[in-house]
Structure 1
Amino acid sequence: MILMRTLETLLGGEWVTTGAWIDVHDPADLRAPVARVPALSAADVAAAYDHAERGFAVWRRTSPFERARIMTDAARLLRERVARIAEDIGTEMGKTRAEATGETLKAADFLEYYAGLARQGYGTLVHDVRPDTRTHHQREPLGVVLAITPWNDPLITPARKLAPCLAAGDAAVLKPATDTPGAALHLARALHDAGLPAGVLNVVTGRGAEISEALLRDPRLAAVTFTGSNEVGEGLRAALAHTNVRFQGELGGKNATVVLADADLPAAARAVAAAGFAQAGQRCTATSRVIVERPVYEEFTALLLVETAALRVGPGLAAGTTMGPLAGARQRDGVLADIERAVEQGATVLAGGGRPADEALSHGCYVDPTVLGDVAPDLDIWREEVFGPVVALRAVDSFDEAVEAVNDSVFGLAAAVFTQDLGAAHRFADQAECGQIAVNTTTSGWDVHHPFGGFRDSGSPFKEQGEEGLRFYTRVKTVAVHFGA
C-alpha cells in the first residue's frame, strides 16, 4: 500500500504549503490518493509574479557561465535521483519504469544541452554603410515567462521549456498539470538544490479554473509557452491576442505512418506498434493513422496484430509491463467512447477495443491496445486526435494517394514513411506537410538538439528544442556605435 505524501511547492526560493490541497492519484489504482499538493490561490499567483520579477532582475545579470554551472549541476542531480523520480512519474502518470527513467534522463539532457548554449555567443557583428561605425545585434532575455505543461510528459516538457528559458536569462512561473505535479517539483528541487537564485523559478500548483485569470492577466508577463490540447491552446491564444505577450503553443497531432509496398514490413510493424502504443498512445507524436499500399495491406496488418498481442498491459511500475494505464478516468473513458463511435461509423476492431478483462486491473484507467481496420477517411477516428492506444488502418493504391491522405488533416506534427526507395523517401519528406518527418523509423523520439514543432493546427510558428528553441525566449536589439571624429 502506498502512503499519501504531502508535497511542497517552490515560491520565491522557499518550499511552501497552503491550507488547501489537491489530491494526486495513481491511474493504475484510483481507490486512494498517493499524494497531495498545495492548491494555490489567485493571491499566491500574484506573489509568484512578485518573486519572478525580483528573480529576473538578478538572473539577467548573472554570468552565463554561472547559469550554465547551475543547470549542469541540476542535470547531475536528476541523474543521481533517477530511481526515485522515475518511481514518482510512474506512480502519478502511469508510465512504465523504462519510460519514466528515459524521461528523467532526457530532462537532464535538456539542462545540459542548454547549459552549453548559454556559454555561446549572443550576437553578431553586421556591416554598416556609415563610416567609422560598428554595428551589431544581440539577443537578450524577455522577462517573466509563464510555462504551462501537460500531464503526459510531466518532467520532459517542463525541462524542454525551462532549460532554454533559464539559459536565455529569463525568470519563470511554471504551472504543471494538476494531475501530475510531482515530476515538475522534482525538476524545481534539482534546480533549487543546484543554487538557482530565489524567484527565478516559481511553481504554481493549483486548479486552472481558479487561477487562470491571475496567471494570464499579470502585467509583468512577457511570454506564455504552452503544451497541451488545441482547445486550451486556442483559448490562450485568444486571451493574449490583444496584448504584447508572446505565445508559443505545441498542440495536437493526428500523425500518419505510410507503409509502401517495398517496405521492410516486420520493421514497419514493430515501429508502428512502438509509436502507437508506447506511453499508452499518450504522446503528441504517437502514430494514430497507418496508410498502407494495398498489395501489402493484409500482410502488414497480420504482422501488426502479432506485435500488438505481445504487449503486456499493467501497472507501469510492475515487472513485465510494456504498456501502462491511461493517465486518468476521464482520459480512459474518452478513448473508449472514441472507439465505440468509430465502430458505429463502420470501423472494424481487429485487436483490443475495450478494457482488460483482468480483475486485478479493474480499478485502473486501462484500455487494451486497439487496432481498427476498414477506416474510411471521413470517420471521426481518422480525423480527430484520440490520445490513447488506438491505431487506425487504411489501404491506398499509390504513393501519391498516400501523401494526399497524410496531408488531409488539420494537423501537421509528424509523419513517417517506410520504403526501400530512396527517391520515394525524399519525395515524401518534400511533400508531407508536417514539422517532423521520419523515414524507416518511428514518428516519435527526437533528440534535444533537433528543432521540434508542427505546422497548421499542431502549433505556433515558434519551434522548441535545439538552437531554434532559444528564439522564443529572447528578443533582438541592434546597436550602432560611431567611433569617428
Structure 2
Amino acid sequence: MSISVEANLVGGRFTTEATGDPIEVRNPADDTVIGHVPGMGPADVDAVLNAALEGARAWRRTGPIERGRVLLNAAALIRADADDLAALIVTEMGKTTTEARGEVGKTAEFFEYYGGMGRNSFGDVVPDARPGTFALQLHEPIGVVLLVTPWNDPLLTPARKMAPALIAGNAVVIKPATETPIITLRLAEVLTRAGLPAGVLGTVTGRGSQIGDLLTTDPRFAAVSFTGSTSVGLGIQRKLAGSGVRVQTEMGGKNAAVVLADADLDLAASVVVAGAFGQAGQRCTATSRLIVQREIAAELRERIAAATGKLRVGPGSDQVDLGPVVSRAQQTDIRSRVAAGLAEGATIIAGAALSDGLVERGAFVQPLFVSVDTENSLWREEVFGPVLSMIEVDDLDEAIERVNDSNYGLSAAIFTRDLGAAHRFVAEVDTGQVSVNQPTSGWDIHQGFGGFKESGSAFKEQGTAALAFYTRIKTVAVRTH
C-alpha cells in the first residue's frame, strides 16, 4: 500500500525523494499515524547543502530591506494560516490548543521583529586617527548555517533561529526533530510563498543516527545552532572545537523558583504551578525546583498541592490544562525517572487525577508535586516532564546557594516584596535568565535568551543579541586624500 509522504524543500523545490525509508509521525494523544516524512541519507543532505551554498551567495547580494520584506510577508502568512498551524501542533506534538495558538502567534512575532530590522544599520562609522581617513565596521553574513531544532516548540524554535539568520543574509539548512518534523515543513512552505529565493532555506528530515554526525561536522557550514538535550549539545561542542565552525547551544535546565516568607503566596502559587506544569513540563525554562523559606512552607505547600490536584489532563484538543508528552518514549523516560526518585526517598505531596485508560491510550503523564532532599535525582537531573520538587530553606543565603548548586544555569525566579532581597538574588544567582515575581519561563522575542554552565553557550538567542552569532564584522579604512 502506498503512503503519503510530506515534502522537503531542496533548492527551491519540494520533493519527497530520499534514499531512506519514510519516517512515521504519530499523534501522542492516541498513537495514530498522522503522516510520514522522507528519511534522507548522506546523498540527500549533500544536495540540500549544495543548493544552500548557491542560495547564500544570492541572498547575501539581496538588500536588507528586501530580506526584511520577505520575513514580514512570512509573518502575515503565518497569521493567516494560524488555525491550521495550531491544529497541526496539537496533533503532532500534543500541546493544548491554547498553547499551540500562543506558539503560532509568537512565531509570527519573530518574523515581524527581525523583518523590521531590514531597515536598521548593518554597520557603523568609527573614528580613525590617521589624517584624511574614515573607517567603517560592516556586519556581514557568515554563509550557510545549520539549525538543529527540538520537538517541544516545533514552530517557535525554528523561527527563533531562522529569522535572525535570514535577516543577516545567511542561507539556512534546518534539521527538525523526528517526532515533530511536519510543522517545520509547513514553515518552509510559508517562507517560499513569502518570496524566499531558491536555496536560501533547505529542510532535512531523517534519522539522527544516520545523518546527525554528517550534518554537524560538515565543514561547509559556517555555524551550527542547536537546541535540545545537554548530552547532545555538549557532544556537538566537543566535535566542533577547534574547527572554526561557530557553535550555539541551548540545552537543558533545572530551573528554581524561590519563595521568601514575605511573598504574595497567591501570586507565587499560581505562577509556580503554571511554570511547572504548562506544556506538560516540556520546556527548558519550566520550573522544576521549588525552594521555600521554612516559615511559609506548609501554607505554600497546601496551596500548590490543591492547584496540582485540580489540573485536567487529556488530549490537547479538549478543554484541558495539560496534553500528552510528545511520545511513548518520553512517557516511559519520565515515569522511570519518577520511579527512581521515589525509590531514593522522594514523597508525593499531590498529583492530578487521570481518567481511566488515559495512560494506555496515549503518551500521558501524571503531573506530580513531590518533596525531596537535595541529593535526589528528581532534584538534580532534568526530567523534562510535569514534576515539581520542593525543599525548605532557612533564609535567602541558603536559597541562593541551592539555586546555584546545579550543573545547569538557565533560569531562576524569586517571589518577594523585599527590593533588597530581589536585587541580591539577581546579582548572585548563576543563571542566564532571572525573574522577580514572574515565572522562570515566558521570555519575549526582543529579550536576549540563553543560559550559563551546561544550559547554554556564549551566544544568546533572541533580540539584537542574536545577530552576533549570525554575522561577522569587517573593519574598513578609507583614505580620501
Normalising by structure 1, we get a TM-score of 0.97
1:184-333 equivalence runs, <5 A: 184-318=184-318, 320-333=319-332
**Range with bigger deviation, 147-156 or 303-312:** 303-312
* In 1, Cα distance between equivalents of 2:356 and 2:473: 58
Say yes or no: does 1:392 pair with 2:389: yes
* In 1, Cα distance between equivalents of 2:290 and 2:213: 41
* In 2, Cα distance between equivalents of 1:316 and 1:475: 43
Aligned AA for 2:22? W
Q: Deviations over 1:235-293 (max 9, x none)?
A: 11111113111000001110000000011111101111100000000000000000000
* In 1, Cα distance between equivalents of 2:208 and 2:5: 20
Listed as ranges, the gaps of 5+ residues in structure 1 are none
Aligned length: 477
Aligned AA for 1:322? D
Name 2:143's counterpart in structure 1: 143
Q: Deviations over 1:198-235 (max 9, x none)?
A: 00000001111111233133332100000000110011
1:10-409 equivalence runs, <5 A: 10-18=9-17, 20-30=21-31, 32-318=32-318, 320-352=319-351, 356-373=354-371, 375-409=372-406
1:430-445 equivalence runs, <5 A: 430-445=427-442
Aligned-pair CA distance for 1:182: 1.3
Secondary structure of the 2:222 match is: strand
Secondary structure of the 1:445 match is: coil
Match of 1:466 among 453, 457, 463: 463
Which ranges of 4 or more aligned residues in structure 1 deviate by more than 2 Å? 216-219
Secondary structure of the 1:164 match is: helix
Question: 1:5, 1:34 within 8 Å by CA — same for their partners in 2?
Answer: no
Aligned AA for 1:81? D
Question: 2:359, 2:365 within 8 Å by CA — same for their partners in 1?
Answer: no
Secondary structure of the 2:61 match is: coil
Q: Deviations over 1:41-77 (max 9, x none)?
A: 1101000011000101110000111111110010111
Q: Percent identity?
A: 51
Question: 1:85, 1:183 within 8 Å by CA — same for their partners in 2?
Answer: yes
Secondary structure of the 2:361 match is: coil
Aligned-pair CA distance for 1:14: 0.7
* In 1, Cα distance between equivalents of 2:345 and 2:63: 61
* In 1, Cα distance between equivalents of 2:119 and 2:186: 25
Aligned AA for 1:397? D
Secondary structure of the 1:24 match is: strand
Secondary structure of the 1:362 match is: helix
* In 2, Cα distance between equivalents of 1:65 and 1:482: 29
* In 2, Cα distance between equivalents of 1:452 and 1:64: 24
Q: 1:39 to 1:345 in 2, by over 3 A?
A: same
Question: 1:46, 1:214 within 8 Å by CA — same for their partners in 2?
Answer: no
Secondary structure of the 2:71 match is: helix
Aligned-pair CA distance for 1:360: 4.4
Question: 2:5, 2:22 within 8 Å by CA — same for their partners in 1?
Answer: no
Q: Deviations over 1:174-193 (max 9, x none)?
A: 00000100111121111000
Q: Deviations over 1:371-407 (max 9, x none)?
A: 001x111111111111000000000000111011101
**Range with bigger deviation, 17-26 or 444-453:** 17-26
CA RMSD in angstroms comes to: 1.2
* In 2, Cα distance between equivalents of 1:430 and 1:242: 33
Aligned AA for 1:29? D
Secondary structure of the 1:198 match is: coil
**Range with bigger deviation, 302-311 or 252-261:** 302-311
* In 2, Cα distance between equivalents of 1:5 and 1:97: 26
Secondary structure of the 1:221 match is: coil
Question: 1:170, 1:473 within 8 Å by CA — same for their partners in 2?
Answer: yes
Question: 2:407, 2:453 within 8 Å by CA — same for their partners in 1?
Answer: yes
* In 1, Cα distance between equivalents of 2:431 and 2:216: 30
Aligned-pair CA distance for 1:118: 2.4
Question: 2:66, 2:118 within 8 Å by CA — same for their partners in 1?
Answer: no
**Range with bigger deviation, 295-304 or 110-119:** 110-119
Q: Deviations over 1:397-429 (max 9, x none)?
A: 001110111011111100000011111111111
* In 2, Cα distance between equivalents of 1:97 and 1:142: 38
Question: 1:345, 1:379 within 8 Å by CA — same for their partners in 2?
Answer: yes
Aligned-pair CA distance for 1:329: 1.1
* In 2, Cα distance between equivalents of 1:234 and 1:244: 17
* In 1, Cα distance between equivalents of 2:4 and 2:228: 27
Aligned-pair CA distance for 1:5: 5.6
Secondary structure of the 1:476 match is: strand
* In 1, Cα distance between equivalents of 2:358 and 2:267: 33
Aligned AA for 2:108? A
Q: Deviations over 1:127-158 (max 9, x none)?
A: 11111110111110000000000000100000
Aligned-pair CA distance for 1:356: 3.1
